[in-house]
Structure 1
């Protein structure tokens, strides 16, 4: 009996060991299969680490489970900086038999725990999810089969950013379950899901934000007809429950909808859960009563020419809610609203709010409204109410604020809006705020005697009878009073007549109405009268306008998180006339820099009231010391400078005079010049300054209209500048004239150059073009590896110093290569000629042609000459010596041209003199050098093009990051709401494929 038991136990242990070992035995085969399927299917960068892949047969026996951690997909250009998918942990279940014996694997389960999906569609429709190979490019056919017993998704974040449709959606903490046989053309897919809807925005309008969604339904999938049907299901937004039935189909001509929806087991409290600010942790304790009914349909074809018909209704009866710690409720809430369109044209939408009524404590508010369509805008509505503001604090929780006053609203409107016929609805609306009072707990004094008396009247429905009368507006704050009035008449002409007078202490206002991250002080004094017509503004008849008065600002200070440098205005005053604003006084400190200004602005009314108008002006700026570095824009992720964008609708002429300006690591003295900002381009003229021990004159332009490739074009006139200081201060000098590191003395130059700037506001060296003349009156060149190399090679001199006097060096820069035209100088005691080039990457390629008396080579030259001609060499016998300089300035490669040793060079040179060869050896060497240099230049210029392309892509990435600010904000919202790290960009060093 014992023997069979032992045999059974041995077989069981063997099978158990085999099951444990089986995944490891076939791990390489499974991994190889995964990589092959990825290569054959996905045209993107898939990153994962094989060490993060584990296999198990016990998780879902008899299936084998592959688990991978920290994997994802990064798109190819133009989405190379976007992570399409990141997965914290993904488990995929396969049929074990299909892995081992079949030609293709059968996938039976998917389990995702933690991750993010970022779908991006550009304006031209290019999408980052389009990562499968076109049919003609697929190397081999993928044979995955999907009959999934279970799909599980947990803690997934999704951002959908479709810029072609102006649609944006951010979902967080997605949990979903489903299963189905995806190998079939028609199948059922049971789905359960929940998510946080952080943001849904379409065409700039936000429709949902910070709402919790839950849903469960059975979807019927018909892939032949591309039809997705919804069975009986339950859905919820916060506490609002609804059902959804019907289908969505994708025919060739558009999207076909046939959806029906309605509320389910809801009360008035359910609809309150959708009101922003009310669905909080204390929402469950809110006292409510009343009923609610909601329903509608959405049916028809959606495309460029058609919009589905719809009918949406919402009805609330006898609603009431009351915060548990406050004494008064909002009661008698009744609403009957219908939004309907029975055609394919969205302009035929009608709105009917037949009932709207509620009581804020003992304060009633009621109204009604109908709108026939979105073409003629036939409307009929009214709103009446009386509110005791002090009573509102006993209805709604308002911490740290006391309010008082009576608000009386009575408004009626009926008729049609037709701009061609000059018809508008008849309107009779009045709003009066009497003796209001606002007091903040953070500031002891209240805003009091706040009175507003306004009316809108148009009895006839004609535009010229339209009148807005803000006959009274004013308030007091600690004995400081401000009052105003305004009348607007004739809707087609928009005539106005208004005035404002008084003083406001900005620090006190900020204490009453605090704004996060802002500090503000100072007093504004205003006395302005204005009268005119918008019609005259449109037609630039400014002589018919009468806007005049003064605004003064005293002891003003402002700082914020976006402006940490701070602005302090000691005293400023501006007076107004119809055509211009004159800045008569402006004494300030901008950051740490004192600044005074005078000037004017013109066309300001057009600029304020029209989008495409240009603000014109002239400013004179004076400063004793201005630190530009304080105001260079810094990126949010680093301290590097970034491109400064200039407005395109400002035309300013500016004259500047500053005793000292700090820019980057330069100290500029006696700065003066004229600048013009027009159409987004800043132009400099006659800008002069003292710096680096000399004088600099500058003319040129800065053009950042293409933020990815901002251009500059400068003409420089440099006088007596220090060569060592120029080397330390200018990257261009370090790159193209590294020899300056070992030069002492001064130089002069006339130089014009242009190119593009990088995102750090520094020139992209590979893009530079320019030409000019460098003049060195007196300089010393010493202690460099280059000189050491030349002296070591030629043995002509052991002094590591050269004096340079009265040298003119013509240069040209093109595509990252500085071409030095031939110029003469003396190297020690020898006449020499130098030519060549320096690349933006630091490479040098120069030829030095020297004329050396034969006697300087000593007895060696005499012996060679005597051997060749029978005569001795003397001082009149000139030997041409050609030296090639290559490599980099820091690591030069120095060699003799035309021979590999001094002996060969002397022999060839002396033989040439004796035989009177017509062809000059030095000319031969020069031609050989130029031929080789052309090849070197082409390599450098090709490298320059590659660098520029890389710089442009990086710049486009930064511009794209700016455009995608909404995406980053959505990620921040998700992170803040969920209280966990949102994966946005994985470690791309682990890329496979």
Structure 2
């Protein structure tokens, strides 16, 4: 017996040892297989570390489990900066036998613990989740995984879906999910448990769900052959609202077919109340409630671009009541009977019927009803009646730090049809009266007092001409300052108005009472305005029939915010209004650190404010003693040394501006006596006779800055440059540094008339590869010395007078094309020798020049004299001209200097002195020029290809930056998820006790 036990124990120990050892014995094979399958299946960047991979046979015996920690997938361009998936820990279960012996491994389970998924679809439909190889490539590769999954577990996953093509956004947080089933079958049941935070669901700019907790527990009948998913039973909850869901959703083709029924389950009034924004807070559990609630409905039909399923949704609340803890008054007698239904496949025929709606705010009742027959003719029948004592509101709702008083009366009814073609509107009788309003914030000692509003909307005939909106009185007082006004609008067709506003608002005091986060605003606005006119006259441009008169002033105003950190301070501004224009008679301000004075007028302002796609026109005169442009060209909130960034210009402003500034700071330039005229029209800024003193000379420019395509902003200028310092131009202008590096060792001044155009990068600097230009460069007198080029020429020729060149009355025709500065052949005097120079400088800093010179043999010194003594029978003397062709290549600071067609200066002298016939000398230089042009054409072709590639790359980078605004919304959603979930207890991941053996 003892022996038998020992044998059994020994066998068990052997099997146990084998089970422990198998994963590690075959680890390299398993990991190699995983790596191979990923490479064959995924067309993206997969990030994982073999050292973060562990294997175990015990987690889901008899399967082998592979656990990956810190695993992620990021896309290929244009999604290279987006992480599609990041997983803290991912466990994948495989059938061990299939891994070791089968052609394709069988995947049996997935367990994800902690991570984030970011799905992004661009406006053109490109999606970052499209990371599989095209089907033809997959067909040529080996088979990948077999799916035999019977368990999926997900814990603590954040999911963001950002579809910019559909303008749809969804952010889900803290997702918990478990699903079990035979996923290999065509028909199977899938029990699913799901819980998550719905942080945000928005479509076309409208938010539909925000900060709601969703839970679901159901079984889905899956029919993969027909792509049909049926729900037989289950529990679903949104916050505290619980409901059932029955029926199916099918996707047989492009259409979505559905037949779903839903109804509330074991709900009370408190359940539906949990969906009301602002109520489902930490104090919700302590909320006292009573009442019943019934919710049910169905959706049945086809959903596609032309069809919407029929539906019928009903909500009934009876005898509802809620009362916040520690507050004395409830909202009671809440009764709601609402139905939304559509029996057709056209959403326009939806009928909404709120047959009953009433509630009591403390002792103040509100009641109403609404019947909307459809969304085509808008037949309506409804009313709303109620009275609110605002002082009681603070005893019903928690309004911390705020005291309210006053009585608000509302009595409104509407019945009839709205038809803009037949000029029919419903009969309307609506009145709102707020008397003795009072608002006091704990942040400010004085209240807004005597707040009164008397408004009515009346139409008794159903005719648009009888429509009347009468805001007969509105106003309030704040300390010793008051504002009041009125406005009356008649005739829904003509939209005749007659109104006035008079008084003073201290915006600093208003901000103290109603603060705006990260915003500071101070100062006073004083207005005395009267306006009378017709919107019909605005549409027809009959501005002489409009009568808007009065004046408005701003005093000691200051504004700064996160979006405008530089701040604007208006010391004093005054404007008077006439029917034709707004005259800006005074404007003394400081924008950022720059003082600014302005005067002028604005016209077409009524059209601009009252109609869409209208243009505000104006003429302004702007003056500044010192304007720092750099402060307005950095991204908000960044450091002072941030790069400049592209400025988008409004397309609906047509301004002509006369500008005068004693000093302007732009990038590293200090511009003096800046004057000129600018026109902003259709999003393009044009400059006319803009002059400035800079770099020791004068610049006059005409041209345009066109940022309408933010991914490829353009400029096109004509410059007239007079006596600019060559040294300062090299120091200040990057374009000069690259395309004219010779300026580094030049002293003197230059002038030029240059047409110059190209593209700007996102840092507002020219993209050198895009530059085109043409002009004449004039140098009256300059000295060129101590340069690498001169040293190279000296070393090559052994001439002793080449370390300095003096230039006088130099005129150089230059052409810039595709970022390459081309110098046409030009006759110069280099040192004391006649020379012809031609070549180019590329945007990459490369140089390629040919210098053809005629140098007297005697200038070569002893080496020429020795040769002359050995050559007999010739007429060669020390004055015989030697044709020297020098190639300059490489870069300016690291030049490559060589003789064209010769190995050394000695062989050049020998051949030239023997060939005393001048035509032979000319043939030598013609041949050198021909060889140079052939090499130059090849170089230009190569640089043009690179220029196109660089411009394309710059455009893609610009497109990426342009999308950053939308990306910020995604980052904000991620931060919201972090903030909301950071305070929640997160279940700890199960410890992975498997050691990684090497």
Q: TM-score range by the shorter chain?
A: over 0.9
Cross-structure match for 2:836: 833
Cross-structure match for 1:856: 859
Contact 1:170 1:198 survives alignment (8 Å): yes
For 1:44-82, what per-residue CA distance to the aligned partner results, in whole angstroms no more than 9, with x for missing partners? 333333333222223222211112222332233443333
Cross-structure match for 2:92: 92
Cross-structure match for 2:976: 973
Shift of residue 35, structure 1, vs aligned partner: 2.7
* 1:183 maps onto 2:194 in alignment: no
Shift of residue 345, structure 1, vs aligned partner: 0.8
Contact 2:214 2:239 survives alignment (8 Å): yes
* 1:942 maps onto 2:945 in alignment: yes
Cross-structure match for 2:683: 680
For 1:810-853, what per-residue CA distance to the aligned partner results, in whole angstroms no more than 9, with x for missing partners? 21111121112223333333333321111111111111222211
Contact 1:621 1:655 survives alignment (8 Å): yes
Task: State the distance in 1 between where 2:198 and 2:472 align.
Answer: 45
Cross-structure match for 2:294: 293
Cross-structure match for 1:174: 175
Root-mean-square deviation (Å): 1.9
Task: State the distance in 1 between where 2:951 and 2:792 align.
Answer: 34
Task: State the distance in 2 between where 1:345 and 1:871 align.
Answer: 105
Matches within 5 A, 1:981-992: none
Indicate how the Cα distance of structure 1 residues 831 and 8 shifts in structure 2: closer, same or farther if over 3 A, else same: farther
Shift of residue 132, structure 1, vs aligned partner: 2.5
Shift of residue 513, structure 1, vs aligned partner: 1.1
Contact 2:489 2:498 survives alignment (8 Å): yes
Task: State the distance in 1 between where 2:848 and 2:130 align.
Answer: 47
Q: Give unpaired runs (5+ residues) of structure 2.
A: 985-998
Shift of residue 34, structure 1, vs aligned partner: 2.0
Cross-structure match for 2:164: 163
State the secondary structure of the residue aligned to 1:376. Answer: coil
Shift of residue 551, structure 1, vs aligned partner: 0.6
Shift of residue 358, structure 1, vs aligned partner: 0.6
State the secondary structure of the residue aligned to 2:566. Answer: coil
Shift of residue 141, structure 1, vs aligned partner: 4.7
* 1:79 maps onto 2:79 in alignment: yes
* Count of aligned pairs: 981
Cross-structure match for 1:523: 524
Matches within 5 A, 1:500-899: 500-634=501-635, 639-797=642-800, 800-871=803-874, 873-899=876-902
Indicate the larger mover: 771-780 or 861-870: 861-870
Matches within 5 A, 1:70-469: 70-138=70-138, 139-469=140-470
For 1:753-808, what per-residue CA distance to the aligned partner results, in whole angstroms no more than 9, with x for missing partners? 11111111111111111111222222222222222222122210266333222222
Indicate how the Cα distance of structure 1 residues 600 and 570 shifts in structure 2: closer, same or farther if over 3 A, else same: same
State the secondary structure of the residue aligned to 2:898. Answer: strand
Provide the TM-score with structure 2 as the length reference.
0.96
Shift of residue 980, structure 1, vs aligned partner: 8.7
Shift of residue 918, structure 1, vs aligned partner: 7.6
Task: State the distance in 1 between where 2:643 and 2:247 align.
Answer: 55
For 1:192-251, what per-residue CA distance to the aligned partner results, in whole angstroms no more than 9, with x for missing partners? 111110111122221100111111111111111111111211111111111111111112
Task: State the distance in 1 between where 2:605 and 2:840 align.
Answer: 53
Shift of residue 16, structure 1, vs aligned partner: 4.1
State the secondary structure of the residue aligned to 1:117. Answer: strand
Shift of residue 133, structure 1, vs aligned partner: 2.8
State the secondary structure of the residue aligned to 2:521. Answer: strand
* 1:904 maps onto 2:907 in alignment: yes
Indicate how the Cα distance of structure 1 residues 916 and 589 shifts in structure 2: closer, same or farther if over 3 A, else same: closer
Contact 2:179 2:191 survives alignment (8 Å): yes
Shift of residue 629, structure 1, vs aligned partner: 0.8
Shift of residue 402, structure 1, vs aligned partner: 0.8
State the secondary structure of the residue aligned to 1:708. Answer: coil
Contact 1:787 1:800 survives alignment (8 Å): yes
For 1:654-710, what per-residue CA distance to the aligned partner results, in whole angstroms no more than 9, with x for missing partners? 110111101111110000011111111111110000001100011111111111111
Indicate how the Cα distance of structure 1 residues 439 and 979 shifts in structure 2: closer, same or farther if over 3 A, else same: same
For 1:263-306, what per-residue CA distance to the aligned partner results, in whole angstroms no more than 9, with x for missing partners? 11111111111111111111111111111111101111011211
Task: State the distance in 2 between where 1:99 and 1:805 align.
Answer: 83
State the secondary structure of the residue aligned to 2:920. Answer: coil
Shift of residue 422, structure 1, vs aligned partner: 1.2
Contact 1:862 1:873 survives alignment (8 Å): no
Cross-structure match for 2:66: 66
Task: State the distance in 2 between where 1:564 and 1:143 align.
Answer: 55
Indicate how the Cα distance of structure 1 residues 737 and 16 shifts in structure 2: closer, same or farther if over 3 A, else same: farther
State the secondary structure of the residue aligned to 2:916. Answer: helix
Task: State the distance in 2 between where 1:773 and 1:915 align.
Answer: 33
Task: State the distance in 2 between where 1:247 and 1:11 align.
Answer: 53
Task: State the distance in 2 between where 1:311 and 1:337 align.
Answer: 11
For 1:102-141, what per-residue CA distance to the aligned partner results, in whole angstroms no more than 9, with x for missing partners? 1111111101112222222333433332332332232325
Contact 2:40 2:144 survives alignment (8 Å): no
Cross-structure match for 1:984: none
Higher RCO by CA contacts (8 Å cutoff, separation 6 or greater): 1
Shift of residue 19, structure 1, vs aligned partner: 3.3
Contact 2:487 2:498 survives alignment (8 Å): yes
Contact 1:185 1:224 survives alignment (8 Å): yes
State the secondary structure of the residue aligned to 2:181. Answer: strand
Task: State the distance in 2 between where 1:640 and 1:16 align.
Answer: 64
Indicate how the Cα distance of structure 1 residues 798 and 96 shifts in structure 2: closer, same or farther if over 3 A, else same: farther
Contact 1:865 1:871 survives alignment (8 Å): no
For 1:927-972, what per-residue CA distance to the aligned partner results, in whole angstroms no more than 9, with x for missing partners? 1111111111111221112211111111111112224443233222
For 1:502-558, what per-residue CA distance to the aligned partner results, in whole angstroms no more than 9, with x for missing partners? 111111111111111111111111111111111111111111111111111111111
Indicate how the Cα distance of structure 1 residues 497 and 802 shifts in structure 2: closer, same or farther if over 3 A, else same: same
Shift of residue 160, structure 1, vs aligned partner: 1.4
Indicate how the Cα distance of structure 1 residues 18 and 879 shifts in structure 2: closer, same or farther if over 3 A, else same: farther
